[in-house]
A and B are shown apart, each in its own frame.
Chain A
Amino acid sequence: GAGVSQSPSNKVTEKGKDVELRCDPISGHTALYWYRQRLGQGLEFLIYFQGNSAPDKSGLPSDRFSAERTGESVSTLTIQRTQQEDSAVYLCASSLVLDTEAFFGQGTRLTVV
């Protein structure tokens, strides 16, 4: 596709369950980012991939959060044993490494009940 695609667009899960969020970046973009936006707050950096490796995992909130990227393409953000405070919109973005503009997907709205 022409843009960054995220799935699902909405996810409601029970507290304690695991969830997987998927991001399909723009073809050819080597950099991929995950951000989180909680209600009423700004964008919070979670993790960044350069190719398939993640040089900066400093933003992951806890060890319940993990992410991987394969084939320098699709990325999956996994949240284990979800908690209510994990409820947020999870945004994925991609960019050419030397470009200044990151293109965002529409986000996945996660609600933990």
Chain B
Amino acid sequence: DQQVKQNSPSLSVQEGRISILNCDYTNSMFDYFLWYKKYPAEGPTFLISISSIKDKNEDGRFTVFLNKSAKHLSLHIVPSQPGDSAVYFCAARIPEYGNKLVFGAGTILRVKS
């Protein structure tokens, strides 16, 4: 049962353009959503999060949007840079288990210079 889905395995974007990474979820009990970035041979690193009571959170070039009615969130990266090339994981928190995170399968982002 995949509660968090990232339906695009990969995305290729030109440097300077916007990257949009999408994530869908099924469990309405999730209270926080997070994006992690992972480079090869490294552990995932936290990027940005959003509470379920908000619809937008912005941090520099990164903005996360949450549409609760559609159970959909997206990560926007503007402008995209070659160093942003990585695997991006969407994750959702289940409150009754502390910080247990349910992860999506990831999307490989390639930013071409």
Question: Which residues in A have some Cβ–Cβ distance to B below 8 Å?
Answer: 4, 31, 33, 35, 41-45, 48, 50, 55-56, 91, 93, 95, 97, 99-107
**Judging by beta carbons under 8 Å apart, are B45 and A104 in contact?**
yes
**Judging by beta carbons under 8 Å apart, are B99 and A106 in contact?**
no
Query: CB-CB < 8 A to A43: which residues of B?
Result: 44, 89, 91, 103, 106
**Judging by beta carbons under 8 Å apart, are B104 and A33 in contact?**
no
**Judging by beta carbons under 8 Å apart, are B103 and A100 in contact?**
no
How many chain B residues touch A (Cβ–Cβ < 8 Å)? 24
Which residue from B43, B105, B106 sits with its C-beta under 8 Å from A107? Answer: B43
Question: Which residues in B have some Cβ–Cβ distance to A below 8 Å?
Answer: 6, 32, 34, 36, 41-46, 49, 89, 91, 93, 97-106
B54 to chain A, nearest CB (A): 12
Name the CB-closest residue of B to A103. Answer: B46
**Judging by beta carbons under 8 Å apart, are A100 and B100 in contact?**
no
